[in-house]
Amino acid sequence: MQIQHQAISNSTQAAGIQVSHCDLSACLAFFDALGIQEGLDIAPAPGALLCRMSDPWMQVHTPSHDTLSLHQHAKSLKQEILWSMLVSPHRFEFNDLEALGSAVRVRENIVLDARKTALAFKTDAAERPSEFWRYVEDAGFILQPKTCLIDALISATQPEATGKLYDFSCYRATEYVVLLGLAQEAALHNPFLLTQLQQLNEKYAIRSGQFHEVFLHEYGSLERPLPAGFYVPGDRVWFRNPDERSSDVTGYEGSWVIYVGSGLFSNFWKRDQPFTLESKCIEIFHWRDGVQTKADGELWLDEAKVEACVHDTMLQPDKMKLILQQMMRIRDPKDVYAEGGCLDATREYPKQIYPSDLELILPKL
């Protein structure tokens, strides 16, 4: 069933990618190496080149900046990432082509790591493999001495490494996946930063709001929301629960995921069943049907009942359409539960770590 995504952005032209310190021939060669030639528009700007896909190309392949079907044309994940950036209503800026290449590799790492991630979902518990991690009050889960950060992150998120699923919240899980993608790139192209990350994680875990501030850029806003179908592989994405009662259940205020390309969003609890935009919206809608009350009055959510409701809805196209019309709206502001849906106005992506364009500055402890 095809659903027309709500057109949100007023922008018809792509802002795309800005690359400084780069000549035209080198820029053309960079994109040509990844099979991007037809429809590529490169224009000079003071000290930089502005790269975007042309309007006619976008009308055919990404109408209204919708990138969810780009994989049908892309020959590689890198190509899908770059095409998504080239049609973006937000301008991605890089100091040189090397920094752009690094950012694409980080996004590719994040996608591949997210696809491999499988976890146990517990809102009131957390566990990590003790060979690599130990819990310290106030500091959080920190590295055991003389253990490798990359191996530790893999051991906690990819069950093939340990044979076990570990307890995570979706928010913390996305932090581990993003950090792993950055660390893998740093290992190859910024070993000094990797050493800093290693030393920091031996003393303190950067989490929650601080993680967002240190590691990520956020783009889009409630005033100028991103288009509903626009996502770049490697983006961290939030879906809000617009139902006030079920959002009071711990862990069900919303859902943090990674856009893994191919029109799919990570499902860390059932990684072989990633979400489409539609199926994610329908799942969150039915959280309201799974709310139960314990004897002490505490709310909890019956996942089995939610699954049954989702399955029932998927068999009824008319019901699906009505739910999606409600859910595929931009969310209301914080603490407001009115006419908004579950789509966020913004996305998040990692700061640059290539030495020539280093944005990621770690806090001093």
- pLDDT for residue 1: 37
Q: Do 95 and 246 form a contact (C-beta atoms < 8 A)?
A: no
pLDDT digits (tens, 9 = 90+) for 116-144: 999 987 656 678 999 999 999 989 999 99
Q: How far apart are CA 130 and CA 152, in angstroms?
A: 10
Low-confidence ranges of the chain (pLDDT < 70): 1-12, 122-125
Nearest partner of 244 among 310, 291, 293, 313, judged by Cα: 291
Domain boundary assignment for the chain:
17-94, 103-219+352-357, 236-327
- pLDDT for residue 234: 98
Phi, psi dihedral angles at 185 (to 5 degrees): -70, -40
At a CB cut-off of 8 Å and minimum separation 6, what does 162 contact?
A: 129, 155
Phi, psi dihedral angles at 292 (to 5 degrees): -130, 160
DSSP per-residue codes, 329-342 = SBPPPTT--SS--S
- pLDDT for residue 272: 95
φ/ψ bin of 333: left (φ > 0), alpha (ψ from -120 to 50), beta (otherwise): beta
- pLDDT for residue 124: 61
- pLDDT for residue 350: 98
- pLDDT for residue 255: 95
What is the reported pTM?
0.95
For residue 210, the tally of other CB atoms under 10 A from its CB is 12
Find tokens 């029109």 and name the residue: 263
**What does DSSP assign to residue 226?**
P
- pLDDT for residue 123: 58
| Token digits of residue 228 | 């509903």
